[in-house]
Structure 1
């Protein structure tokens, strides 16, 4: 039986545990909140996220001490927002991850370093990149909770690692397939959140479906230009791991990035929108990182630039989207 540690207590961590529980695995779940841990042990559901998901006490064991949760694990899944992943892992060393495969379920970048989570893990804990993978969509936690048909891509430079973990993530309502384009999938997952912010902002301003269709199609071109500059290699960006993930994040009612952007378009300040949302919009931090990275690559990225100016330079959303619409084709 495969033993898997899941680090994080949010909706995506809960959804991943639901999927894994469909298979013959043992799950060791670390949550920061001791009250939530005690509640899960007693009532077998997460009191804060996806409360309808019932958790098997036979397969799922909860921990408040992260080193205990890591004991005996073959895989370690990180499901904490990128902006906050460093602190709970700060007490750990490379030795804690020896012989383990790390799976990032994080669709963001380390803000202070402007780097991918996988690159940070490789550097910080000396884990070979061949032992690291990422989980990509298109897949929202809320639909997993409802057991609606969903699709996942497990990307790694190590095809065997990706294939084995993809098998663990398959069940009657989830299809999962391996892919070797680790960096392309991870950068696309980061950038689709930026696009969802832009879609939400434009919707909040009153733009309709026609404009959003053009915005998303241009965004796919923007993602291709950037990913090809950062990690040039053959890849089909029309595949579900890229285009599918972009579409669901740009259009879905469950997209927290679209929701955050919609609030900005309707006149909320960044601080007000962050306070009202109970979940993290990864795109807010990602747009700053991608903008800073692009100072080196100098890729034409009008959607990223407009979103950055609105969120970080406090430019008027109506003015910036008005400028952006003239640059779209």
Structure 2
């Protein structure tokens, strides 16, 4: 991998894709970027910013090759960065005619492919024969909004091959992005999935007017819950207190930018799930992840009281006030 000359394609046009594109252009001269709508591309070319997300981020459009066909973007890219909601990934990649098996992938997706309850690395391997060693995973803690403001952020890039993890990390590091590497692609991906579910739970508690004291206990229990699950599903040596795990959980639970926390807050205030989504006009990955983790855990039977409480509120219509009160009795 030559990180200065490899052709890099971005699939995704939301806030995180925009933030990743900003990070990449600190290190490479040009990127390929996929947008569904030609009118969005036209407006971007005219204004120099993404018209729908992070409009404060100004781009030199001469550094961007715009595409509205995924096959064409993939043909013209050696490294492909995925930054779309996980629920939409099969729709976007499902019709591809291009062979992906020799491509490198960097996943910024913090969710699970819900059709088959697969992590992104598993989905790429199972459906497109992409070797695990050709995939890197971007783990937090960070929010796109703070990257846009160039506030100091720390990211972990996970890949099972150290050299590739290092090369992927060099693509996104800068004066305001510090990076570290990991070989734990399964643990970092599952943490990214589960912390969104936990954030919904924290938001529900906030909407129900539980205070900071309860939230602290919720989070301290949550990191143990995540550890139990990832250690069961992929048992390797890992320090759950590292920023890729605990840090990612904390920023998602507490940040004003967390859409999963916002979804939970609205539900705690009495919104239905449908009305909460309509009010937000954004995708909250934790909603889909909740059902996926519930289904996956049928195989492992790990104790996940917080995730299960959120699942029952979201999918079984159990009143949030009743469910959180029951959850409170199980924590210490």
Task: Assess same fold via TM > 0.5.
Answer: yes
Q: Aligned match of 2:238 in 230, 235, 253?
A: 235
Shift of 1:287: 0.7
Q: Which residue of 1 aligns with 2:6?
A: 2
Shift of 1:56: 1.7
Would the aligned equivalents of 1:2 and 1:26 in 2 still touch at CA under 8 Å? no
Determine the C-alpha separation between the residues in 1 that align with 2:92 and 2:85: 11
Determine the C-alpha separation between the residues in 1 that align with 2:250 and 2:205: 16
Shift of 1:119: 0.3
Q: Which residue of 1 aligns with 2:177?
A: 174
1:182-206 CA distance string (max 9 Å, x none) = 1011001100001100000000000
Q: Which residue of 2 aligns with 1:276?
A: 279
Q: Aligned match of 1:71 in 71, 75, 83?
A: 75
Structure 2: gaps spanning 5 or more residues: none
2:139 paired with 1:136: yes
Q: Aligned match of 1:104 in 104, 107, 124?
A: 107
Instruction: Tell me how many residue pairs correspond in the alignment.
Output: 328
2:144 paired with 1:150: no
Determine the C-alpha separation between the residues in 2 that align with 1:112 and 1:181: 24
Would the aligned equivalents of 1:201 and 1:317 in 2 still touch at CA under 8 Å? yes
Determine the C-alpha separation between the residues in 2 that align with 1:71 and 1:173: 32
Q: Aligned match of 2:18 in 14, 17, 40?
A: 14
Q: Which residue of 2 aligns with 1:56?
A: 60
Match of 1:2, SS?
coil
Shift of 1:68: 1.9
> What RMSD in Å do the two structures reach over aligned CA positions?
1.0
Would the aligned equivalents of 2:101 and 2:131 in 1 still touch at CA under 8 Å? no
Determine the C-alpha separation between the residues in 1 that align with 2:205 and 2:29: 44
Calculate the TM-score normalised by the size of structure 1: 0.98
1:193-245 CA distance string (max 9 Å, x none) = 01100000000000011000000000000000011110011100100000000
Q: Which residue of 1 aligns with 2:229?
A: 226
2:92 paired with 1:92: no
Q: Which residue of 2 aligns with 1:245?
A: 248
1:68-109 CA distance string (max 9 Å, x none) = 21233221011110111111112214x432431011111111
Would the aligned equivalents of 2:48 and 2:61 in 1 still touch at CA under 8 Å? yes
1:146-171 CA distance string (max 9 Å, x none) = 11001111111121111101011111
Match of 2:62, SS?
coil
Q: Aligned match of 1:120 in 114, 119, 123?
A: 123
Q: Which residue of 2 aligns with 1:207?
A: 210
Q: Which residue of 1 aligns with 2:322?
A: 319
Structure 1: gaps spanning 5 or more residues: none
Calculate the TM-score normalised by the size of structure 2: 0.97
Residues 98, 293 of structure 1: alpha-carbon distance in 2 compared, 3 angstrom cutoff = closer
Determine the C-alpha separation between the residues in 1 that align with 2:281 and 2:25: 26
Determine the C-alpha separation between the residues in 2 that align with 1:70 and 1:41: 21
Determine the C-alpha separation between the residues in 2 that align with 1:56 and 1:150: 23
Determine the C-alpha separation between the residues in 2 that align with 1:214 and 1:30: 42
Determine the C-alpha separation between the residues in 1 that align with 2:200 and 2:250: 13
1:304-323 CA distance string (max 9 Å, x none) = 11000000000000000000
1:118-145 CA distance string (max 9 Å, x none) = 1011111111111011111101000011
